[in-house]
Amino acid sequence: MNEPTAPSPVAAPEPAVASPAVPAPAPGPVPAGPNWRWVGGVGLLVLVVGCLVLVWSTQQRVRSLEQELVRRQQSSQEQSTEARLLAKQSHDSSTQLAAKMALLEARVAETALQRSQVEELIQSLSRSRDENVVADVEAALRVAQQQSAITGSLEPMVAVLRQADERLARYEQPRLERVRRAVAKDLDKVRAANVADLPSLSVRLDELIRTVDELPLLSEPMRRAAPEPARAAASAPAVAKAASPGPAPDLSWWGTLALGSQRVMADIWQEARSLVRVTRIDHPEAMLLTPEQSFFVRENLKLRLLNARLALLSRQFDVVQSDLAQARASLDRYFDRNTRRVAAASEQMAAIAAQSRQVPLPRADESLAALAAAAAGR
């Protein structure tokens, strides 16, 4: 700031010079009064000093304000820097906290899953013996029904119902007595069901297929397995006659010749009878089969029986009936029905056709209903 300047001294008034032309007035007494110039100068001096003091104080105040502003600006910069640092630290902390929260949530979910698994395990372990028996019997019955539906046999149902009845009998729980009665009723119903036994019928068809090559055709001569017994039977009267008591045989050459001639005639008669065979023929075309045609007849019969077997395994009972009817018609037309093998084969086909019927499989509905009621605690 500029230093205040000292007031300049006021010059003394110069004495007035009298004009020579004008005569000076006569001196008289000067009136006494205050010196206004001096007072004005002092006032002006005081005013200037006040202004200078005011300016100096204002400059001092401005300077202090500038210093305060600088100090506050520096402090605000320091605070902003510190705030940035704190914001960065808080952002890093929030990121770490979010990661920790995600990890904690994953662990909480895993703990909840393990807890649910442990609770299920505890519940399964804490189930009573009755519930275990009911659950095991129900599961076994459902599996047996599925097996019976797939295989077409009642053996799985019979076995499971029998095992369930024996298990409930050993358990001897009055709460499960209703279940035992229902199981016994279903077991009787399943046993009384007339369902085709597919495995046994399939085995019987296999036996029929194997015996087709041994069945005699009408176009083939009858095979005599043992011709010697027939000759023995033909010569039996002569032996019996020779062995019968009577007159002593003639041991001459004439008697020996007669006995030999009788034996020769018996042999000739037997051979002649074997050359001629009288048979009733309902289908004349069956006698005209050649050996090649006979082979194809047997193969066609085998194919019919094989088709019937495949249809039986696939439970197409209408196809089974049709194939067996055609096989029996072929058997009666081309094969000798007077023989035991052909008659037995025809009877076997008729029996298989009678047993190959579509019968609905019985279900263990009463047992399942009783098990559901027992599981519900009723």
Q: How far is CA 226 from CA 14, 220, 232, 278, 337, in A?
A: 200, 17, 11, 20, 21
164, 141 Cβ separation under 8 angstroms: yes
Would you say residue 5 has pLDDT above 50?
Answer: no
- The residue extents of the domains of the chain are 56-126, 129-195+361-375, 197-223+285-358
pLDDT per position as a tens digit, 283-332: 555 555 667 777 888 888 899 999 988 888 887 888 888 888 898 888 88
CB distance 374 to 178 below 8 Å? yes
Tokens of 298: 């047997």
Quote the CA–CA distance of 94 and 100 in Å, as a whole number.
10
pLDDT for 234: 41
pLDDT value of residue 108? 92
Average pLDDT for residues 195-201, to the nearest whole number? Answer: 74
pTM above the 0.85 mark?
A: no
Lowest-confidence region among 63-72, 238-247, 291-300, 365-374 = 238-247
More confident residue, 16 or 343: 343
Return the minimum-mean-pLDDT range out of 30-34, 219-223, 347-351: 30-34
**pLDDT (0 to 100) of residue 254:** 63
Q: Give the model's pLDDT for residue 237.
A: 44
pLDDT at 102 over 60: yes
Q: How confident is the model at residue 247 (pLDDT cuts 50, 70, 90)?
A: very low
What CATH code is assigned to 129-195+361-375? 1.20.120
Query: What letter does residue 154 receive in the DSSP assignment?
Result: S
Residue 241 has pLDDT above 50, yes or no: no
More confident residue, 31 or 6: 31
Which secondary structure element, helix H or strand E, spans residue 355, and what is its range? helix 340-355
Are residues 226 and 265 in contact, defined by beta-carbon separation less than 8 angstroms?
A: no
- pLDDT tens digit sequence for 226-239: 333 444 444 444 43
pLDDT at 280: 61
Q: The tokens of 312 are what? A: 């039986």
Buried b (16+ CB within 10 A) or exposed e, 271-296: eeeeeeeeeeeeeeebeebeeeebee
Number of neighbours of residue 268 by Cβ within 10 angstroms: 10
Portion of the chain with pLDDT greater than 70, in percent:
72
DSSP 231-261: HHHHSHHHHHHHHSSSSPPP-SHHHHHHHHH
213 and 298 in contact (C-beta within 8 Å)?
yes
Sequence-distant contacts of 219-225: CB under 8 A, at least 24 apart: 219/286, 219/287, 219/288, 219/289, 219/294, 219/334, 220/294, 221/277, 222/277, 222/336, 224/274
Max CA pair span of the chain: 251
Mean pLDDT of 72-79: 88
What's the pLDDT tens digit per position in 213-230? 888 887 765 543 333 344
